Structure 1
């Protein structure tokens, strides 16, 4: 995997396939708002009579903003077709990415401004806590903005799970009696569910999601070129693996089903 693709996969932890333009736009606007606000402020430092009270208040608000950040980030990852994004570790990476991006805005737009104009000795604990609150606020706003974009052009979570589960369950057509009409009806259902799955996979925007779509469409083209008996062999697999091509297609199917089950929350 080349460096560019690795970088895109890493970026997907924040953009979830929506591209970096919105990320840069929001971060620049946040930087401008912070820098211009404090650039012309009469005092960069927070001077109040009861700093401890505000430290507790800012900390509490930061926790709320952090909760919003985690909530919307968790929702976004479950609107993608990237299996790796469904792990809690990757969720932590996404949240950390938002905090780092917003933290850089606060660092260069506020903290360094204080250091340059007033000196390090003047900044106090309350200023650091306030900076932390702004960081979590901006990170939460960024996550909410991305979530709004994803909600507009991606299938909802229920549709994704229903479509994936429907296709996965429809593989049972191979268990029907060969001499019955039920088998043809079940196979027709399998084809319909394949069409449904193909339709929602075209909304995939992440690197892993696009790869899953390509793998599925490639497997489907090969599958439909076979006879009915070979199709059953691809679904069931072979005990002795006499036909290497059919076995390879069976393994491709197993990989696709495994990734889709992770996305549907079945594994």
Structure 2
């Protein structure tokens, strides 16, 4: 993988030289946006895949990485209810300790939870972080019959533990249309050959590469995906790309947990392409 990252950097440097030759100038004649896209292409990000193990609800580790099931709840962090008193459904619970340790990036300590109100087509959601110190509180059970959630909402609710495993490195998306000169000249054959080489690498290493869901890396930017609605693009924390993790995910209906890392700390938000 490191060879592939180095190869991309070398190809981009070579492309800039060909630009100068094509423009008969001492330096490239690409637009500022083109240069920005090329710089982004050099910024490979590590990502982690997940392995899902379905379990009976009684066997789940309620303080672990969960899809659906019975997440940690306590008196201070009860099961969320909507305005009609109907329960939200648990989408995911993920250990921030583990992601921080694996990535070397400080996401805090404790559990990140996302809950959805599927009674509303807009899928209102609750995103919350339960700090590690608050996990010492007694765990509670929901105040309703858990089995009624599926019966009442016809929801293919996942009930699974998942492990976070190394996925490799991911590059941003790229295409020939992103390369333009300031004066509108046509690309030379040499430039086109290098761009084709870059695109071949990208197609094997961008968001289309992982088969399932992933942690960090880049968000999926295909048609109808949430990331495409933002400018600038938000940072991906968790990419829901398979119905195994989120039953409403299918073609052009992916979902993400995004994060923002500012001087005030890390914050998270959920969005989906429904």
The structure with higher relative contact order (CA 8 Å, sep 6+) is 1
Q: Which has more radius of gyration?
A: 1
TM-score under structure 1 length normalisation = 0.29
